[in-house]
Structure 1
Amino acid sequence: MDETIPFKNLYSREYQGHKKKVHSVAWNCTGTKLASGSVDQTARIWHIEPHGHGKVKDIELKGHTDSVDQLCWDPKHADLIATASGDKTVRLWDARSGKCSQLAELSGENINITFKPDGTHVAVGNRDDELTILDVRKFKALHKRKFNYEVISCPD
């Protein structure tokens, strides 16, 4: 059972790096890294040390040409992260190096993304209400489906 920490014992810290508004944040599966995606066309990986008070280390993920609207971590690999952007691409990144390892060009402005719990597939929703399933190994679209209504979030 998880131990509850009293709210009064928690502390906050401000992380600076993005030049514009942040649209998305997510923890990796080990809770050691926090990612943020921004209107400034970048994502950042923040290395979080418990009770750390020193300079925060971060890695900037550059390559998108539009807003990074959402991101998600691989549920099985603490150093793999996927980003969805308005530039119609989805990218898979190595959080250790900050390098893009895979890129998929899709048909619309991507606004939602999630990994399947076993880490084998990524589901992406776009502004045109289309859902695309990508195979993570090949980073190719396996299935696409257009909905006649808004896709607010992608199922796991």
Structure 2
Amino acid sequence: MKCLMVFLMLVMLMALATALLATPTEEEVFIDGDDEDAQTDNFDASLLESEEVLPASLRGTGRFLAQTPRVTMTCNKYPRVCRAKGSPGPDCCKKKCVNVKTDRLNCGMCGKKCKYSEICCKGACVNPLSNKKHCGGCNIKCKKGSSCVYGMCSYA
């Protein structure tokens, strides 16, 4: 029984020692090289003391909250955003840049949706499976005398 008590006391002391050693008491700044080298590189050690030192641990604070919020420019306030290089389209519909000549959800004008089997070609909803002027895709015309069936000219 005495041996068990000594063992528990030893475990408690080791746990206490590791807890005390693991918690830092203050932040230390290490400078590589000698003090003479630091002076020759125009290093000002007083700057380290005057600046506020942030904790190295992120525990308790999230990095997400530390980020600055992004500012997004929507086309309803800035219509020129849609004309910029890399924009999905020159037109603004519901705060998004779109091309009303090719967008299925805004075909020809904002809010005009094409049916499931239709695509938007030149601002008009067409069925590429049966339309002679847009057979299989936009601006694919079938030759005279042939028909568009299943999106192919002169099928069978």
TM-score, normalisation: structure 1: 0.23
Bigger Rg, which one: 2
Structure with higher strand content: 1
Structure with larger RCO (C-alpha < 8 A, sep 6+): 1
